[in-house]
Amino acid sequence: MLVAMTAGTAAAKDPATVTYVFKGEMASVAEDGSSFEIALTGGNKAGRGAVASDEPLSLTITPESKVELNDQEATMAELKAGDKVVVQSKAPKGTTSFKADKISAERVEEPAEPTESAPAEDEPAA
C-alpha cells in the first residue's frame, strides 16, 4: 500500500516539466505579435543553463500568454525595445524552444530634459 501511495505522488508531479525564467531587455517584437526577442541578462538556473549564447533569445507568444507592463495587464503591442522583462516558460527539461507563459515588463520613463527658465522677477537686473 505504501508503494502505491508513493507512485501516485510521483505521478502527480511531472518531473520532465521545468519552469524556465529569463531576465533581460526587450530587443524586438514581431510585427504580427507571434514572437519576440530579449537580450538576456540573467534568469533562474534552468533558464541560464538552457541558453549559452550571447544572441537574443526568441520566444513564441500564444493566446494564453499573460502580459504585464508596470504591474498592469497589457498587450504585446504595448511593449517596446528597451523594456526590462522577466519571462516565465514551462517546458520539458532540456528544450531549446520556448513559449512565453508570462511576461512581466517594466518601463522606466526617462526624465524630461529641464528647460532653460527665465530669471525670476525679483532678481536684480545686471
State how far the Cα of 11 lies from the Cα of 125, in Å rounded to an integer: 84
pLDDT single digits (tens) 64-87: 999 999 999 999 989 999 999 999
The answer as to whether 23 is a domain residue is yes
| Phi/psi at 116 (5° precision) | -70, 125
5 falls within a domain: no
Domain count, the chain: 1
**Residue 36's pLDDT band (boundaries 50, 70, 90)?**
very high
30: containing domain: 16-106
- The answer to the question of residue 73 being in a domain is yes
pLDDT of residue 103: 97
Q: Is residue 64 part of a domain?
A: yes
CATH number for the domain that contains residue 100: 2.40.50.320
Is 56 a member of any domain?
Answer: yes
Could you tell me the sign of the dihedral formed by the alpha carbons of 19, 23, 24, 26, in that order?
Answer: positive
What does pTM read for this prediction? 0.74
